[in-house]
Amino acid sequence: MSYTLNKKLQGLTPYDPGAGDYPVRLDANESFLTPPDWLRAKIDAALAAVPYNRYPDPKAAALCKAFGDYYGIDPAYVTAGNGLDEVLFILAACFTQAGDTLVTVQPDFSMYRFYGHLGECRQAVYDKGEGNAIDPEALVAFCREQKADMLLFSNPCNPTSLVLEREAVRKIIREAGCLVVLDEAYMDFSDQTLIREAADYDNLILLRTCSKMLGLAGLRLGFFVANATLTAAFRACKSPYNVNALSQAAGETVLKEKAYLDDCRRKVCASRDALYKGLQPLCQARGWRMDKPETNFVYLRPDDAAGLYEGLKAAGILVRHMGDWLRITAGTEKENAQLLEALAAL
């Protein structure tokens, strides 16, 4: 017997997050904050109460309630996933059918097109052009021309670090003529969220993650927010026990600490602003491009991205290299200082 991989599997390779040991990792947009001892004690107590022999709550009800309370929305419209990665996988596999048209934008989060490939979608890509920004009129026209079934984009955008204003996003949702998946993974660092009105649209799915501002990338928690019909469909097609009991318990515990999370948000935004300010003189002196970030990272176009990337690596600092650009996550004060020093020396 001989077996050949099917077409969609041929040529796929595992995701490589950048192997190697780097003292300073500013490549994955994680938070540099980790729960303090008092919060760790609370998490440990919650974990100690988990019945290991039982399946977890398939609805993750307590976790979704804590999420809803923190963001001021009804948990009836909230469903938890095993990281947004799982949610994106389900959306591509179940909310599209083979041959459907998926519209993504460029540049944007690279995983979207990977999942679209697994979902066997026809893919159409809207190019943001030199300004790195979405023109809402043009994107709507593109979706209509392409007869899009699903439009998927991040706001604020990874990697451009820019945010599209609420009214522009509303226009896209109203006029694109398809299901719109709005990935707000970084919206905690900006102020243009549509989360409180997400359930009012019949064609909007809004995504949030615990991996960025909430500092819980290790738990793998992401959230799907949408109206009752879309929520029911998502709950029907996800695997029943997708979020494990430990992540549910730990996530619920952290999401209940509003004052702590608000403080995390302030600290990460302060680090981001400091990194942006620290890079400005370098950018001016060397003619590098950098826009004001609405995320926890900056997006920088130096004259020699590949050379700087290698130089930083040699100095023990890992950032993300993306063609002519570098994406650099805001770190601790010390990490930011190390980065600026290394860049100035290169």
Give the span between the Cα atoms of 27 and 53, in whole angstroms. 37
Residue 224 binding ligand PLP, by CB under 6 A: no
Residue 84 or 249: which CB sits closer to ligand PLP? Answer: 84
Size of the site for ligand PLP (CB under 6 A): 13
Residue 109 binding ligand PLP, by CB under 6 A: yes
Residue 183 binding ligand PLP, by CB under 6 A: yes
Query: CB-based contacts of 285: which residues, under 8 Å, 6+ apart?
Result: none
Check: CB of residue 213 under 8 Å from CB of residue 201.
no
DSSP-assigned states of every residue in 1-66 = ------TTTTT--------S--SEE-SS---S----HHHHHHHHHHHHT--TTSPPPTT-HHHHHH
Q: How many residues belong to the chain?
A: 346
State the number of CA atoms in the 13 A half-sphere of 53 facing the CB: 0
Using CB under 6 A, pick the residue from 146, 211, 242, 336 that binds ligand PLP. Answer: 211
The encoded tokens of residue 120 equal: 């066997």
Residue 193 binding ligand PLP, by CB under 6 A: no
From residue 142 to residue 161, what is the string marking binding to ligand PLP with x (rule CB under 6 A)? ------------x---x---
Residue 85 binding ligand PLP, by CB under 6 A: yes
Footprint of ligand PLP on 24-83 (CB under 6 A): 29, 83
Minimal distance, residue 158 CB to ligand PLP, in Å: 4
Distances (CA, A) of 196 to 166, 205, 225: 12, 12, 10
Residue 192 binding ligand PLP, by CB under 6 A: no
Minimal distance, residue 33 CB to ligand PLP, in Å: 16
Residue 254 binding ligand PLP, by CB under 6 A: no
Minimal distance, residue 160 CB to ligand PLP, in Å: 11
Residues that bind ligand PLP (CB under 6 A): 29, 83-85, 109, 154, 158, 183, 185, 209, 211, 217, 222
